[in-house]
Structures are given as C-alpha cells and as structure tokens.
Chain A
C-alpha cells in the first residue's frame, strides 16, 4: 500500500533545510508520494527511514518473472480482490507438468512449447513446462531438462525436485534462463535459497500452513532471495480456494510482506473436466502460476479463453476500429451487414461471414466497444447510430441495392431504422453469428 505524503513527512528530518530542492520537508514528502522525486535527494534521511519507505513503496504483491526473452512470464503485482474494483493485471501462467521418466516427455514438452491459439485477434500461448523429478534420480532429471529445453525452445521452465543436488545439476544447463525452482521447504530451504541466489532465479517456497509459509519466506529473504512464489500445498479445491483467498487478503489488506508474492496452483485431476474446474477456480481466485497435468489442446483453449475473459479491463472492452470492413471482395450486389465494434462481436460475425463463402460488406458501428445486446440496452446502438454509420460509410454510391441486414437481437429497431434511412429496406439477420452462413444462403438470396 503506497504511503500518503503526510505519512512520509513523519519519517523525514522536518528541518526544512531545502537541500532537496523543495522549500519544505512537507512539500518534498508530497512530491515523493506522487512519485515525482527520489528519496535520495534528502541527504539527512537515515538508513532506517530509507528501508521503511522503500518497503512501503513496494507493491503489495511482488511482480515475479519466470524465464527470459519473448516467452518470459511476469506474475503478481495484483492490487484488488475483485476484478470490478479495477482489473486483474498479470494473467496467470498456464504450465504443463511432465515427469522426467515419462514416455511422453518429448511429446508433451513439444506440445506445451509450441501451442498457440488466436482469440479476438490476440495470440495466446502457454507459460511454461514444469519438469518433475519423478524418478528421484538426478541424472534422469538432468536429461529430461535438456530434452525439454530442446523440444520447447524459449519456454520458461520450472525445476521441480526435492533434491537440491538434482536442481543444481539442472541449473548448470538452464541456470541463466530464470527457471522457477520448486520447492524449498522447512527442511531444505538453505540449499535451495543458496541456489536461487547464485543463479538469480525465482524460488517457490512450500509449507503446510500460512504461518509456515511466512516463516519460510522470512528465512529465504534473509538469505538474499528476492523473487518468491508461494505454494501453500492445499488439499482439494475447497482448501485451495480458502488458502488462496486468505493469502491474497493478507497481502492486500494487511500488507503482510512475507506473503506478498504470487501463488502457484497444481490443478491436475483425473478427468479434463475436473482439471478445467480446478483451473477455472484458480484463474478466478488468485493463482499466479497454474500447473496442468493434461496436455490437451481442448483444455488449453478453454482455460486461455477464460483467462482472457477474467483479465480484461472491465472498464474497457477489447474493441476494433469502427469502420467499413470487407470480407472477400464484395461488389455492388453483395450483402451489407451491420454490427458493433466489440471485438468479440466483430470476430464472431466476420468469421462466420467468411465461412459462408459469400463476399460481404461488414459495417462496424461505434458502440463504445459493447456487444449488440449490451450496447442496444445502453442506448449506444440505436436507429440513429445505425443510420448515421450507413450514411457516413459512403456505401450508397457503391451499392446497386438498398438492403441492410441488422442483428437479430435488435429486430425491434427495424422500423425506426427504416424511417431514418429513407429508401432502404431493413432485413433482420440472425441473433447468433453462427447462423449467418445459413441466413446468407437462404434469406438473403431470396430477399
């Protein structure tokens, strides 16, 4: 939680010496609170004050990055409990766990590293591969890490082993790539903390109680580790929800420094449905890293879509530019459809028009980035807006016909639009984009 100017002022010398360049200590404190100057400008501030102010200025949940280069992921630095309060900022990294002695290691690593899917114009990928020292053998682990590195180039790696020697050997290969180490516990933290510090890697700490986690956090921080990920090792989805909620609240509401780090969730389950549910809960409620066991594109796509939904800015929907779009090469006799500039709406409609094989004019109205139904309810997509969009498009000179297809959800507007657009015939299209191809084949052709 950031400090106010007055709280900072209390910690300053209050001598008004002006050496910082400000007329008074209070003015300097106010500027500091707005992050408009540096504490180092004050020559008289004590080390103790500096430490206190630095720690107060740090975000309540530390931003931790895993991996290097284009595929690196950064998680944490969240500031709210509910997305409607502001927004969730750093989407959790979805990772796939592979066992170091599994037959499908290569295949899974390749799939996780190479998977990508486009949704509403945005390319989504997975966040990494978790290599688990399932064999308990350091040599097998090392070989598996080498395989994953080769099969999933650039993808962040999690080194998962209870054996510091095995992790040390693996760090010899990927130590420069900021792998996440999993996990330091009360019994082995010294060796893991030393490795994390030596290689500047993020370190997971694992304990079976919140107190245990906080203690461990203080210990590894004392040993010089800065980037920490928390594994509260929950049992079941109910326990997981309660623990993750408590950790998030402690960080945000109590400014509990030892617990101000992102959380890792293991959501593996027997069926893809159960794994999807556990992961969905972790996406909605507070995980920073989510580790999957099923390497299944259907699961990836479902969860990446959910993550995109939950991490969208609630005040600012994903939008496309309102203008005239063409699908294929439409001519003067091609159909004209109108919709709104909500990105999902646009991509759904244009995708379906494209799959119909019929070239079309697709007019996208400025509806504040809302969907058809929402913008209609909010009065942003009414007869006037539709008429204005058509007139401003200049299409009247391009088309041989005067037929406009409006979305089925605003069928009730057709009369009004006809009044606003003299000489035009208003056709009511389907409610759902998926019905557009059959609409164009049947209704439009007959119209």
Chain B
C-alpha cells in the first residue's frame, strides 16, 4: 500500500532575527539567531526549521524576595548578584540572558538610569551570550532606563523590552539609534500584534530587529488563549502575511511561577502532588506546549526546566529521525 504523506507548501516564512553582536560595537562571544522556518514547528518533513528555539534564563537585578521558595532554593545566594547569577545560568545552558531591571521600579528602590546601566554592563562583562533587557514595567521608568541602557551599550544588539502601543516611539527610537532590537508586546490578540508591528515598521526599524511577545498565559491560567493566538499568528506568517512573520518570545517563567501551583508548598490539595516536582512541571509544561504553537524563545527561571526544555528542543530538532521510517519499538 502506497500512501502519500500530505505536505504543506507554504508561501511565507518566519523572519530570521539575530540577537547579540560580536563586532561593530558588540562584545558578545556568540550570537543567537531564531526564526527562518517555513513550516509549523519541528515538521522537518516539510520546509524545516533552520534555527532551533532558544532558551533565555531570567535574571533579576535585585534579590526577588517574592519568588517561589523552589526558585530561591535552586539559585541560593546567586539571587542577589546578577552577574554571577547570569554566569551560572549560561553554565547551565542558557542561550540568552533576560535581565530584568526591577530595582528601577518606584516600589522596589526606584534606582536611576546610572545604576541600571551599571548592572547591564556588569552582566555583559560576566557572560558572552546576547542579552534581553526588561525595564521595570512602569511606563515612565521603562522609557528613562531603557533609553539610557540602549545608549550605553550601542551596537550590542540587545533586545529592549517591553515595547508596547504606549511607549513604542521611545523604545523604537532608542533601538534604531543604537543598533538594538525591540520586543513588541501586545495582549493576546492577533490583530493588535500585527498593528504594533506595522507601527514599529513605519518608524523605520527593520523587521529583522523585532521580536513579538504575544503575552503568555501559564498552564491552567490562560495557556490555551496564548496557544491559539500564537498558532494563528504563525499560520498567518506561513500564508505570507508580512506583518506576522516575527519570531515569538514567551515569558514562561514569570507567568508559570506566579501561580498557586508553583508558589504554595502547603495548604493545597494532596492531589496536586509533591511541590518540588509540581512547581517545576508547571513551567516546563507551559514552555513545551508553547514551542508547539511557535515560540522561538522561551524565558525560563528554574535550572531543571532549562535542562529539560533544552533536551526536548534537541529531540524535536533531531532530523535523523525520519518520519515514517522509524525502527524502534515504542512498547519496549
């Protein structure tokens, strides 16, 4: 019996985006390129996937006292030292460091742009991988801090985050003038994501310097919304819609570790299982599921998640396993 495997021939493809620079102002020892695929995730029997999804590890510039006890145990004293924390993360497999400038938040110390620049430079010196830099998450402070960081690190091809409909003019201008990238964030909506890409593109920033953050819902807390919006964005990209062809980034760690399942060691039903196992699974499972919807970068927090997600991506990228001609036996 001969069976023809149905293959999709898509007219479009995802744009390739490179983070980090080794020359021309950049001091990275390596860069990370994501995107470029002309088929749905990991379907190597079609157009394939030239770049594997990357794993970023989240590092905070101050000790995050409100983090889950499981995370505090995992990182220990490194939590107060962003440069050492980042170096350890790279040792554990991080392709990128996602540095959050939390201490600049008005409620968290209200540090100024000079302090922020010093932290970023410290992390740049400690690791050779590319950086994503997140502002503290309040509009005024984000603008102030991210502009200063962009100017002080000209040419590094850092991804500046977040760039949303309110602050995009400032952030895009900072990226444009200093050779950086932006992460365009919109709230779980295909059209809003497209629209922000258009606005950014209209300002003259080439789209190979734009990553899209479609807003992540954690497992059990809106994951399915993110999943379907990402799947629709990716299908639109493959159909050839130029304003949806950006690689996508998901802040999995931040969302997965916010939930009761990953924060409460006690006072929850016994059926939820062991806290140490469950809390990490919450992050790992959210990340794995979103790579199926088209995530090109996942930002994670726990070392065990990093290891498991990296191994899974390696397995999914293994093209030696030719579909339909496999030989091993599942049941043994």
Contact = CB atoms under 8 A, between A and B. Distances in A.
Interface in A24-40: none
B326 A277 contact: no
Contact of B281 (A132, A235, A299): A299
Given A302-B282, A377-B187, A250 B328 contact: no
Interface in A270-322: 271-274, 276-278, 280-281, 283-285, 296-303, 305-306, 308-310, 312, 314
B94 interface: no
A150 interface: no
Nearest to B315: A237
A301 B272 contact: yes
B241 interface: no
A312 B224 contact: yes
B199 interface: no
A352 to B, nearest CB: 8
A231 B311 CA distance: 24
A368 to B, nearest CB: 14
B330 interface: yes
B331 A273 contact: no
B76 interface: no
A133 B63 CA distance: 52
Nearest to B305: A273
A309 B222 CA distance: 8
Nearest to B317: A238
A186 to B, nearest CB: 12
A348 B263 CA distance: 14
Contacts of B271: 115-117, 297, 300-301
A24 B43 CA distance: 49
Nearest to A371: B222
A280 B4 CA distance: 28
Contacts of B264: 434
B221 A82 contact: no
Interface residues of B, number: 73
A272 B280 CA distance: 10
Contact of A119 (B220, B292, B321): B220
Query: Interface range on chain A: under 10, 10 to 19, 20 to 34, or 35 or more?
Result: 35 or more
B281 A302 contact: yes
B309 interface: yes
A110 interface: no
Interface in B1-48: 1-6, 40, 42-45
B182 interface: no
Interface stretch (A163-171, A188-196, A211-219): A211-219
A348 B218 CA distance: 14
A310 B285 CA distance: 13
Contacts of A302: 219, 278, 281-282, 285
B93 to A, nearest CB: 13
A209 B325 contact: yes
B224 A239 contact: no
Given A182-B331, A238-B321, A280 B44 contact: no
A235 B325 CA distance: 10
Contacts of A296: 273-274, 277
Interface string B251-290: 0000000111101100101111110011011101100110
A231 B2 CA distance: 18
A83 B228 contact: yes
A280 B223 CA distance: 12
Contact of A209 (B43, B45, B305, B324): B324
Interface stretch (A12-20, A64-72, A241-249): A241-249
A183 B332 CA distance: 12
A54 interface: no
Contacts, number: 217
Interface string A413-447: 00000000000000000001110000000000000
A83 B330 CA distance: 27
A322 B187 CA distance: 25
A117 B269 contact: yes
Contacts of B269: 117-118
Contact of B225 (A116, A277, A308, A374): A374
A206 B308 CA distance: 29
Contacts of A119: 220
A46 interface: no
A185 to B, nearest CB: 9
A434 B255 CA distance: 13
B323 A243 contact: yes
Interface string A95-106: 000000000000
A310 B289 CA distance: 10
Interface in B307-322: 307-309, 311-312, 315-319, 321-322
Contact of A298 (B1, B40, B281): B281
A249 B324 CA distance: 14
Contacts of A266: 330-331
Contacts of B187: 373-374, 377
B183 to A, nearest CB: 19
Interface string A306-347: 101110101000000000000000000000000000001000
A222 interface: no
A208 interface: yes
Contacts of A351: 260
B327 interface: yes
A140 interface: no
Interface string A209-233: 1110011001000000000000111
Contacts of A276: 281, 284-285, 288
Which 8 pairs from chain A and chain B are nearest by CB? A298-B273, A297-B273, A242-B323, A273-B308, A239-B321, A298-B278, A298-B277, A117-B271
Given A234-B321, A235-B326, A280-B288, 6 more contacts: A206-B329, A209-B326, A246-B323, A300-B271, A302-B281, A303-B285
25 contacts: A82-B232, A83-B224, A116-B271, A117-B271, A182-B331, A209-B326, A210-B5, A234-B326, A236-B318, A238-B317, A245-B40, A246-B324, A249-B5, A272-B281, A273-B307, A284-B227, A297-B270, A298-B273, A298-B278, A299-B277, A301-B273, A303-B285, A308-B220, A309-B227, A348-B260
